[in-house]
Structure 1
Amino acid sequence: MFTRSPGLPHKRRQSNGLLSHFPVPPIFSQQQLVDFQRNRANSAAHGLPFGLPVLPPYQWNPAPSSPPVPHGSPSAKARKRRSDDHGQYDLKRQCFSPTGPHNSPAARASGSPSPSPTRRGPATRPSDVQHQAGSPLASPRRMGCLPSLGEASQDDNELVGLQSAAKDKLSQQILDLFISCQQQDDDLEKKELCRAQLQRDIQMLFPFSRIYLTGSSLSGFGTRSSDADLCLVIQEGSVDQKNDAVHVLSLVQKLCYTLSYIDRPQLIRAKVPILKFKDRISGVEFDLNVNNIVGIRNTFLLRTYAYIEKRVRPIVLLIKKWAGYYGINNASRGTLSSYTLVLMVLHYLQTLPEPVIPCLQRDYPECFFPTMDIHLVPNGPRSIPPFISKNQSSLGELFLGFLKYYATVFKWDKHVISVRQAKAIPKTNCTDWRKFICVEEPFDGSNTARAVHEKEKFEAIKSQFHASWQVLKLRKDLNFVLPVRQSKQNR
């Protein structure tokens, strides 16, 4: 039913030139395309299987305790693979060489590049791959403040540091909530397995496409129950979301009906249309968009903030839980999105007299350049070092200060929250800033809080900040503003 069509049907060609980009995308060099044609001819001449070249979006280093098994296999949930049990699914972990053609027959057959283009024989597990010295992927753990992409949880030594600093009851409650609810390595691994398999299947429709895991799952701000966001990139640059993106997602939706591991694919025609579906294997809910490139950029910006200072992730998780409990964390209902809440937390931490975190886009502009080629974005911040803050406030003090800042200090009617500039900037007459709450998107400058368009909802948000601050400064017990046991159960 679905052939290896290099692009969209002719009847859907639009004047914006989107469809004319297939099958030659701008992300591949001329040499890579020449190699691709040569490999295809050689494979046909020798009767070998041939898969289209794939450029994975980021290096994937799964945690050693999570051995990979075929996604969709009946034994996927139960079987642990032996250390010497190699297979084609090893190649789905997105560990790749940043340069050079991928000529291995195993790589061509699986649709993913081999970690070593000259090696023959069994596939190599990503944890065994030795990258060349000087490569941006040389260290499988971390070169700067960031953990590898296969690791979601906090380092043990960082948790020990947080525990030693959590001397008061409120701080200990916040830390306990974080440890209980934070996304685990195996949670992230399940999402990656589905992403990798879906990328291979969608490449039957769009051979040069890639799928990126984005949002809280990858940024470090996810919980064990977090849904997963995916971005299907079919070309560099923008895509007409009203027409082309909807058509692409409708084709993907039809494909999903034929995939045994996908359940209930539903097309949502929003401003940025998405395809919602559930992975039958892991039970994770996914939202897939097309070419929402800014989502990839801000994922890796937020990921850097998440790991640059050990107190950031526990505070963000707490505030998302707090906002969800009081019903002010749902953009579809006219309140704050989780992304907006994260930006509000980062802004507060940046603007303290002694900042807890730096301004990354100001201090490291070369790592977050807004027009950087999208396939370079994941490796952009890898060398950024940890930030040593002079601010030694506890988790409890930071939470209380956050509530006070937005309850009594920040001027909602006059200022825009800007993480990009690490300050509150004056509102202008721009349409985006004529809203009750204004939070600047760090890359495209839009207002991420534009969903709050009703005065009643805005007043409810403000009053909750104030009420929680008043209670917490007297009680210093998290249970008075957020039931801890219930929050742990709903992780």
Structure 2
Amino acid sequence: MDNANCVGGCKFETRSFQYRRRIPYSLGADPLPPVHPLSLKNLVDIDTDLISSQLYELYDSIILNDSGLERRYAFVQKLEQILKKEFPYKNIKTSLFGSTQSLLASNASDIDLCIITDPPQCAPTTCEVSAAFARNGLKKVVCISTAKVPIVKVWDSELQLSCDCNINKTISTLNTRLMRSYVLCDPRVRPLIVMIKYWAKRRCLNDAAEGGTLTSYTISCMVINFLQKRDPPILPSLQMLPHLQDSSTMTDGLDVSFFDDPDLVHGFGDKNEESLGILFVEFFRFFGYLFDYEHFVLSIRHGTFLSKRAKGWQFQLNNFLCVEEPFHTSRNLANTADEITMKGIQLEFRRVFRLLAYNCNVDDACSQFTFPSLTDTSFMDDYVNELQLEIVPGFSHGRDSSDTSCTESPPEPSHFAWAFDPYNATASPYYNQNINSSIDYSSIYSNDVPAIPPNVPYTFVDPYTYACYINNNSYLPPSYMDFYTWYNSPYPKSSHHFDERHGGDRHEKNLSNSRRYSRNKFHKKKQSSGPFQYYPDAFSFTPTDNNSPPSNSSSSEVVSPVSLHSEPVLSTVQAFKS
């Protein structure tokens, strides 16, 4: 019998919770405005040593101790004995997975257990397992057979422990092995993941089922990818390292092989000397302000970011944050959170960064979020107003008014050459290098530049997208208007803005798409009519020829940050003329 086909006749089949949305709809889904990295407080001005000491002290108090581990093993043994007694002919074994096995459990963590039968076809249903547990004196037995992964929840009043049991979902044990291998690669990984999971639990942001947010496993994958992208990297991609791959490494048609000897890669991240406090602060800076949620997918399998367009995820439901499942690569782990929820979580990231940057207080950053009573409607309104204060990075709240180390405006551009590389989450986004002060760069940084009148036919290079292109030859802007866009446009990366400017003429947009395909040599050259002529070299920029204009460009020039491979400079770039 299928595990999930027991709805209706099972008295344990009930909702174990009342769904309470964590991020209210009133926050809205309007995208957050971009924030200049130089407007954020510099890392050298933050007392990361104090933050590290607080983190380690809190980590030692919450991490699962030996006595807690013994209680968990005793509970698992008790459950296995019950199952073998109730189902003597099922050849049942149990396997721990989740945070307990991956060394990421705290004293308050639940137990995750996989019930394995041989053969799998003779497995009992979740309702049968629920009834067996109830007959043997276990409390609070709940059967959730309609979930994506059917589970049985059970509570032991003697050991004061709860457990979630699934049946024959062995892929979960492989995910745990992979996570454990990453944890053992570097001594900073375990405390960093544990503390970020602790923050998420305190802020009620790790409950995908009840609050519509993220799972703890998704958050752990975000941390792993963040550490893989440090400069220099702290973690490798264990699935990309050479390892044994044969028929035994295939499960449900998926390649689940990886390099599983962490001792051989221990010391991989020794060149990176960042402390726990630095990594904790930079995690929230990166996902609060710097990560491009619109275009990229987090992939620990590849140890980098992937393009949403390349994976075909740009039109998926709930795809604001995309985290690739390391084995089942067609699955987005973060699709449990919709766009409004992810906007709220991103603002929560910003809140933590502000509190750490100006107060250096981990307890304040991890303060407990408590849901209000159902009759208290003003609480969530106040919470939304508090989140909206994080949209503008002025940080006027929660810091000393005499602190002038960070302002809403970036530093004087004549002293810095700014170039932001979204492929590398570097600790400091600016370079101490004098540049040519004879050129007026104020139009790049100033918020007071008047909008260009609609009748002026010039477009300007979007610095963020151009930096992506220059830094990676394989990167292709998702659309024509992502690469060349109106400066100060309210829709800087929107294809709808392109349609509005040209009267909704889809034919012209299709012509620009054909130029994108021609650059990859997927289509033969063909002639097209319209205001834009078809040229195979329309996007002929290369990292070694940054100033070469496209073949159909005008002579108009604008200043844009370019060439992140070499010494960063600000140089002129040819712009298209519409």
Flag the structure with higher helix content.
1
Report the Cα distance in structure 1 between the residues aligned to 2:212 and 2:294, rounded to whole angstroms. 18
Secondary structure in 1 aligned to 2:285? helix
Equivalent position to 1:266, from 142, 157, 176: 142
Does 2:298 match 1:414?
Answer: no
Report the Cα distance in structure 2 between the residues aligned to 1:210 and 1:432, rounded to whole angstroms. 38
**Where do 5+ consecutive residues of structure 2 fail to align?**
4-46, 371-578
Report the Cα distance in structure 2 between the residues aligned to 1:358 and 1:326, rounded to whole angstroms. 30
Q: 1:408 to 1:378 in 2, by over 3 A?
A: closer
Contact 1:231 1:290 (8 Å CA) reproduced: yes
| Residue in structure 1 matched with residue 446 of structure 2 by the alignment | none
**Cα displacement (A) at 1:258:** 2.4
Contact 1:359 1:422 (8 Å CA) reproduced: yes
Report the Cα distance in structure 1 between the residues aligned to 2:257 and 2:80, rounded to whole angstroms. 17
**Cα displacement (A) at 1:327:** 2.7
| Residue in structure 1 matched with residue 487 of structure 2 by the alignment | none
| Residue in structure 1 matched with residue 160 of structure 2 by the alignment | 283
Equivalent position to 2:229, from 329, 339, 351: 351
Q: 1:276 to 1:434 in 2, by over 3 A?
A: closer
| Residue in structure 1 matched with residue 250 of structure 2 by the alignment | 371
Contact 1:432 1:447 (8 Å CA) reproduced: no
1:50-102 Cα shifts (integer Å, max 9, x gaps):
xxxxxxxxxxxxxxxxxxxxxxxxxxxxxxxxxxxxxxxxxxxxxxxxxxxxx
Does 2:178 match 1:178?
Answer: no
| Residue in structure 2 matched with residue 328 of structure 1 by the alignment | 205
Secondary structure in 1 aligned to 2:126? helix
TM-score of the superposed pair, with normalisation by structure 2: 0.50
Equivalent position to 2:342, from 453, 458, 466: 458
**Cα displacement (A) at 1:320:** 1.2
Secondary structure in 1 aligned to 2:264? coil
| Residue in structure 1 matched with residue 260 of structure 2 by the alignment | 381
Does 2:113 match 1:230?
Answer: yes
Report the Cα distance in structure 2 between the residues aligned to 1:438 and 1:380, rounded to whole angstroms. 24
Does 2:180 match 1:296?
Answer: no
Contact 1:300 1:378 (8 Å CA) reproduced: no
Contact 1:294 1:444 (8 Å CA) reproduced: no
| Residue in structure 1 matched with residue 77 of structure 2 by the alignment | 196
Q: 1:218 to 1:342 in 2, by over 3 A?
A: same
Note the 1:307-318 alignment, pairs <5 A: 307-318=184-195
Q: 1:385 to 1:478 in 2, by over 3 A?
A: same
Report the Cα distance in structure 2 between the residues aligned to 1:386 and 1:13, rounded to whole angstroms. 42
Secondary structure in 1 aligned to 2:154? strand
Contact 1:305 1:312 (8 Å CA) reproduced: yes
Structure scoring higher RCO (CA < 8 A, sep ≥ 6) equals: 1
Secondary structure in 2 aligned to 1:195? helix
Does 2:334 match 1:449?
Answer: yes
Report the Cα distance in structure 1 between the residues aligned to 2:155 and 2:2, rounded to whole angstroms. 31
What number of residue pairs does the alignment pair up? 313
1:12-36 Cα shifts (integer Å, max 9, x gaps):
489xxxxxxxxxxxxxxxxxxxxxx
1:295-331 Cα shifts (integer Å, max 9, x gaps):
1100111111122211111111111122222232211
**Cα displacement (A) at 1:184:** 1.1
Q: 1:441 to 1:235 in 2, by over 3 A?
A: farther
Please tell me the root mean square deviation across aligned C-alpha atoms, in Å: 3.1
Q: 1:226 to 1:13 in 2, by over 3 A?
A: closer
Report the Cα distance in structure 1 between the residues aligned to 2:98 and 2:128, rounded to whole angstroms. 24
Report the Cα distance in structure 2 between the residues aligned to 1:338 and 1:278, rounded to whole angstroms. 20
| Residue in structure 2 matched with residue 252 of structure 1 by the alignment | 129
Report the Cα distance in structure 2 between the residues aligned to 1:469 and 1:292, rounded to whole angstroms. 38
Contact 1:407 1:465 (8 Å CA) reproduced: yes
**Cα displacement (A) at 1:479:** 3.2
Contact 1:358 1:387 (8 Å CA) reproduced: no
Q: Residue type matched to 2:335 in 1?
A: R
Report the Cα distance in structure 1 between the residues aligned to 2:2 and 2:283, rounded to whole angstroms. 50
| Larger Rg over CA atoms | 2
Contact 1:308 1:387 (8 Å CA) reproduced: yes
Report the Cα distance in structure 1 between the residues aligned to 2:77 and 2:289, rounded to whole angstroms. 46
Q: 1:397 to 1:230 in 2, by over 3 A?
A: same
Q: 1:183 to 1:471 in 2, by over 3 A?
A: same
Report the Cα distance in structure 1 between the residues aligned to 2:214 and 2:249, rounded to whole angstroms. 25
**Cα displacement (A) at 1:370:** 5.0
Report the Cα distance in structure 2 between the residues aligned to 1:228 and 1:13, rounded to whole angstroms. 24
Q: 1:409 to 1:324 in 2, by over 3 A?
A: same
**Cα displacement (A) at 1:227:** 0.5
Q: 1:407 to 1:185 in 2, by over 3 A?
A: same
TM-score of the superposed pair, with normalisation by structure 1: 0.59
| Residue in structure 1 matched with residue 498 of structure 2 by the alignment | none
**Cα displacement (A) at 1:474:** 2.7
Equivalent position to 2:363, from 479, 484, 487: 479
Q: Residue type matched to 1:424 in 2?
A: F
Q: 1:346 to 1:179 in 2, by over 3 A?
A: same
Q: Residue type matched to 1:173 in 2?
A: Q
Shifted more, 276-285 versus 197-206: the winner is 197-206
Q: 1:415 to 1:13 in 2, by over 3 A?
A: closer
Q: Percent identity?
A: 28
**Cα displacement (A) at 1:286:** 0.3
Does 2:103 match 1:220?
Answer: yes
| Residue in structure 2 matched with residue 209 of structure 1 by the alignment | 92
Does 2:343 match 1:467?
Answer: no
Contact 2:126 2:143 (8 Å CA) reproduced: yes
Q: 1:340 to 1:370 in 2, by over 3 A?
A: farther
Secondary structure in 2 aligned to 1:352? coil
Equivalent position to 2:216, from 319, 338, 341: 338
Contact 2:250 2:257 (8 Å CA) reproduced: no
Report the Cα distance in structure 2 between the residues aligned to 1:380 and 1:183, rounded to whole angstroms. 26
